[in-house]
Amino acid sequence: MGVCGWKETNFVVSAIVVLALLGASLPMPAAVPPEVGATLRFEADGSTLVWDAVAGAERYNLYRGLMADGSDLDCLVFRTSQTSANDPDRPVSLFTYVVAAWNVDGEGSLGQTTDGRERLPRIRCSDDDGDGIRDDRDNCPGLSNALQIDHDLDGEGDPCDLQTYTFETDVVGTRPADMTQDGGVALDFIVRDYQGDLGVAYASGPVGVHDVFDRLSAARAQQDLDVYLDTYEVPGFPGTEVLTFELWSEGTFAENAGGGIQVQVVADGRFLARIRSAQDLVDLGDAVLPSGGRSRLRLRKGPNETSTLHLDGWDGTSWQQDRGVFEITDDHRLVGRRLSMASHDGGRRAVVRVTGNALFPETDLFIRRTPDGVMDWKLYQRGADDTAPIPVPFSYRSAGAARIEARIVDSTSGTPLLGHDFPDHNKALAAAPAGRTSELLLSSVPAGGNYDLEMRLVDVESGVFLAEDSVSEIAVGDVILAAGQSNMSGFSGTIVPAEPPVDNVHLFGNDYLWKRGAEPMDSGVDQVDQVSADNPFHSLMLRFAKEVSAQTGFPVAIIPAPLGGTNLHTQWQRRDSDPTHRGTLYGSAIHRVLVQGYAEPIRGVIWYQGESDVGRGVDLYLADLEGLVADFRADLANPDLFFGNCQLATNLGANLDNWIQIQEAQRR
């Protein structure tokens, strides 16, 4: 090892190039390059480093550090095929340089320190994913991204960005990974090769089926979004080149359920925007973008019940903002959290890349208020030990390490439940300046209520409370699904005075919101699943729940799903291919239960129906009813599910012989 110095440039060159020795753990020695030798030197110009070539070397790595012993070496020149390199910096102090030969079997040693230890660089000239980009400058270390593609320009390469779908690791001819189909089956939604880019599209298929980008769901409803789209127009299909993309999506067109903000790229390249509410579509306008197939959608929640959708176009070098601006004057029913593609109005226009970024809200802590999360007035099904776990999904933002704490208090007195105070429910959280989602499980919450859930975010270092959030009037008790026809819905007219509400009866309404149970229990206001849309009056549900609660001593929740005038033998049948299809009465009823994410199966079902099956006789109706009970017990995962069957009442204006046959089947 030699040292060459030039006083006029204040450089020191340490020529340390040593053959690497293979670790003993490998069964066979790799053919790493031989030693370069002490040939590293400066040319006369004082800035060009040169060294002698060695047999077996494919490339060379040049390291540089400030310490004379080479203890702080960083990668300077990565895998050059030359035997020379220039240092662009003119140091004000001494530099130490080390060169090592490299081939596909590995890099030669950087030599040894004066005490005989192997010299290790601070930043190695490595490329673990083999894409030709050194790891310390790779925007996606560990996954190949040779072109350093970064769809949303956030500094994280697309293969590593969980918010980006590229389809490049999918298999042509199969469904893409991490996408869930909803509302039916579209066999033609598969990965295809579009001139070197893999992408997805519908070739035809059922109208209204949605394919959901599972990783891109927002943490809460009406969260601001930035969505980047790269599309591909398939030649040869004029008039059918349509792409339908849905933001704030919930439910599907095929199910006549939920809603969302739809953006369509149509045959002539224009963008159309519209609101979908179940199967009702309202146009918001259109816009024209530069050619190239790249666009950006910026959806922003406005004040009160308004929002704005901004459409930007990429001209090849920069974003042209607001090529289209679409005002949404009433967004209160747009409560979905998903991004999806839909098989509306044709297909074949492909998506080859999509990135969805849900922007973190201003608040530093919020509890996710959705049916499968936590909501005011939500009731949780108690288990055999008269307790229920309550998972609390939340999002937080903290500059440093933090701790989340939660407690359950009595809604009336504010007194914490024994074993459910802040010290009993807490979790350490990593720093998340940009925001992060997490979940805290409150186990063994006792049956009863109503309770308030209080949550706070605490800075670990200072102990200061950073933020807090709360949910009111939750409970643990028994959940009952109510189904049938007009008798259950409540078309017997109004009762004066109406059945008064009480705090221990909860209701999951047709609008998919939890609330205090009150007439009309089967209200059709803001109905989400249109299959059961109705506008009834006074039903048996509230009174039934009050009676059960009085007898058991626990709160009771009703989940209504009936529809007046419906029969059992065709309209309430289970769709075996898709039992939870929300376009069917049975599937919609089951979905309203399963969407709650309960740890325990609900307690029971109450059923009041029969008029529309009058004339089928005892045996046929009995078989249909027994099949319905078996289906409920299987799909609700409770073989002992209580089934309360209300016998059909006598109607003096009807054919009593036929009605009595239905009554007899129900009695049996």
Which residues are CB-neighbours of 564 under 8 A, at least 6 positions away? Answer: 485, 486, 489, 491, 534, 536
Rounded CA-CA distance 662/668 in Å is 10
Name the band, by pLDDT with cuts 50, 70 and 90, for residue 625: very high
Asked if residue 17 has pLDDT above 70, the reply is no
Amino acid identity of residue 523, one-letter, is: S
> The pTM is what?
0.85
Rounded CA-CA distance 376/473 in Å is 6
Name the band, by pLDDT with cuts 50, 70 and 90, for residue 466: very high
Asked if residue 431 has pLDDT above 50, the reply is yes
Mean pLDDT of 137-149: 88
The CA-to-CA distance between both ends of the chain, in Å, stands at: 99
pLDDT value at position 5? 33
Q: pLDDT tens, 161-216?
A: 888 899 989 999 999 999 999 999 989 899 999 988 899 999 876 789 999 999 99
Mean pLDDT of the chain, nearest integer: 89
Asked if residue 428 has pLDDT above 90, the reply is yes
pLDDT value at position 26? 38
Specify the range with the lowest mean pLDDT, choosing from 234-243, 295-304, 551-560. Answer: 234-243
Among residues 422, 495, 498, which one has the least CA distance to residue 457? Answer: 422
Rounded CA-CA distance 244/346 in Å is 9
Structural contact between residues 417 and 478, judged by C-beta atoms closer than 8 angstroms? no
Asked if residue 659 has pLDDT above 50, the reply is yes
Structural contact between residues 390 and 381, judged by C-beta atoms closer than 8 angstroms? no
Name the band, by pLDDT with cuts 50, 70 and 90, for residue 92: low
pLDDT value at position 90? 65
Asked if residue 643 has pLDDT above 80, the reply is yes
Q: pLDDT tens, 231-268?
A: 887 665 555 678 999 999 999 999 999 999 999 988 77
Asked if residue 340 has pLDDT above 90, the reply is yes
Q: pLDDT tens, 221-230?
A: 999 999 999 8
Backbone angles phi, psi at 423, to 5 degrees: -65, -20
Query: Which residues, in sequence order, are bridge partners of residue 390?
Result: 442
pLDDT value at position 30? 66
**Pairwise pLDDT comparison (24 vs 609), residue with the higher score:** 609
**Pairwise pLDDT comparison (338 vs 69), residue with the higher score:** 338
Q: pLDDT tens, 358-388?
A: 998 889 999 999 998 899 999 999 999 999 9
Structural contact between residues 456 and 484, judged by C-beta atoms closer than 8 angstroms? no
Rounded CA-CA distance 627/629 in Å is 5
- Residue percentage of the chain with pLDDT more than 90: 67
Query: Which residues, in sequence order, are bridge partners of residue 280?
Result: 277
Among residues 274, 356, 282, 290, which one has the least CA distance to residue 323? Answer: 290
Length of the chain: 668
Which two three-digit tokens encode residue 236? 């040869």
Structural contact between residues 96 and 55, judged by C-beta atoms closer than 8 angstroms? no
What is the per-residue DSSP string for 294-337? EEEEEEEE-STT-EEEEEEEE-SSSEEEEEEEEEES--TT----
Rounded CA-CA distance 474/457 in Å is 21
Cα-trace Rg, the chain: 33
pLDDT value at position 379? 98
Asked if residue 1 has pLDDT above 50, the reply is no
Asked if residue 19 has pLDDT above 60, the reply is no
- Residue percentage of the chain with pLDDT more than 70: 94
Which two three-digit tokens encode residue 296? 């950006």
Backbone angles phi, psi at 586, to 5 degrees: -65, -50
Asked if residue 345 has pLDDT above 50, the reply is yes
Q: Is 430 exposed, middle or buried, given 0-12, 13-18 or 19+ CB atoms closer than 10 A?
A: exposed
Mean pLDDT of 322-332: 95
Q: pLDDT tens, 188-198?
A: 899 999 988 89
Rounded CA-CA distance 463/307 in Å is 38
Among residues 16, 18, 101, which one has the least CA distance to residue 65? Answer: 16
Mean pLDDT of 6-33: 42
Mean pLDDT of 622-626: 97
pLDDT value at position 23? 31
Name the band, by pLDDT with cuts 50, 70 and 90, for residue 13: very low
pLDDT value at position 29? 54
Asked if residue 450 has a cis previous peptide bond (ω within 30° of 0), the answer is yes
